[in-house]
Amino acid sequence: MAIYAAANPETLAMAKAGEDIDTGQWRVNVVGAHFVPAKKDAAAYIDRQNSVVVDFNFTNLSAATSNLFARVAKVDPPVAGLGEPTFYLGRDKSILFDLHPGMAEYVTAVWKWPDNTPPPQSLRLVLGGQIFKKRDNLFGTPGWLPGSPVASVTLPVEVKTDEATQ
Amino acid sequence: MSLRTIVALTAAAAVLYGLQQTRPGYADITRPLAVTGVAGERLSGREFTVQVTNARLAKRLQVTAYGQSRILTTSGVWLIVNLKAEARNKTVAITAASWRGPTGIQFDASQRLSTFPSLISGQRLEPGIEKSGQVFLEIPPDQLDGGVLLIARGPFIPLDSEITVDLGSLPASVEEISLDARRNGG
């Protein structure tokens, strides 16, 4: 069965921006993406970098507070030199630590875009799934573990110059 | 392979499967030891003692600290718990607080105020010296009734005490509560 599944992978569902996607632990809705060029004379370090900003709505569907939303969306195909994004909470523009169960939040992810890479015309994100294991293989403790990808979203990327990154 | 061997192997497999399915898992065996009580009561765990002195609800927090003031909104409601705590045998910190709703859903203390000076989690507790501190949580309003506050030394400390406090009936939610670091929270 596993060999058959590996030989005949299911095609990944293509979701649209604004569509609710259930990844297991999260309900995700990708709002949109934009590119913010570096402002060389900005006071904050983050504003002196090229950045790609993606807005999400996240709802934690699990029974406990979690910070694993940070691992849901991955840029695909990978871009050389692109690190992990920083997440900001939409309601107070501060760095987001974790999301509580059942409390939907508007979340902004900011990727520092490599200087030597041209701004993207579009961005494809793959949304990874999570599976709940009552007993994991190491300790036998319950928890959410990474599963196979659930959907992909392709977003047009506009350049926005007048807006602060966060 | 004789019939007897096959029967014995099948029976052994069935017994082992039954044990695997019914025996408590690692997380159950090493879970924290609950110390239950109500607000106002001094509750002693293995390493520390706490007493909840006051609990309030608000839709917004106005937080003044480190020379700036900001308003923190939430999609639920803010629960602000004032408590007193003291170490028992040696210096400890109590860094984990959460709310367990009536259906078992667990809301950890909000980290949006993680640098606020009056947080109990930011203080060193010494034996014999009682300190006051606060805990801030964001909870959907429907998870308040029948919930309990959980306080422990840390989020994953097996077989250590976890204080479970029933806060009783909470006051009605107010629009805004001001917290000022210069007045030790308030």
Collect all residues of chain A within an 8 Å Cβ-Cβ radius of residue B98.
65
Residue A64 has its nearest CB partner, among B76, B106, B111, at B106
Q: What 3-state class would DSSP assign to A4?
A: helix
Assigned token pair, A55? 């807005």
CA angle A132, A136, A139 (to 5 degrees): 145
Tens digit of each residue's pLDDT (9 = 90 or more) over B51-73: 999 999 999 999 999 888 999 99
Chain B residue nearest residue A134, CA to CA: B25
Q: Which of A18-27, A52-61, A157-166, B172-181 is the least confident region?
A: A157-166
Residue A139 has its nearest CB partner, among B26, B98, B140, at B26
Residue A8 sits at the chain B interface (C-beta within 8 Å): no
Identify the burial level of B12 via C-beta atoms within 10 angstroms of its C-beta, where 0-12 means exposed, 13-18 middle and 19 or more buried: exposed
Quickly count: other Cβ atoms within 10 Å of residue A143's Cβ. 19
Residue A140 sits at the chain B interface (C-beta within 8 Å): yes
Helix (H) / strand (E) containing B13: helix B3-22
Tens digit of each residue's pLDDT (9 = 90 or more) over B82-116: 999 999 999 999 999 999 999 999 999 999 998 89
At residue A165, the pLDDT reads 46
Q: What is the ipTM of this complex?
A: 0.88
What is this structure's pTM?
Answer: 0.89
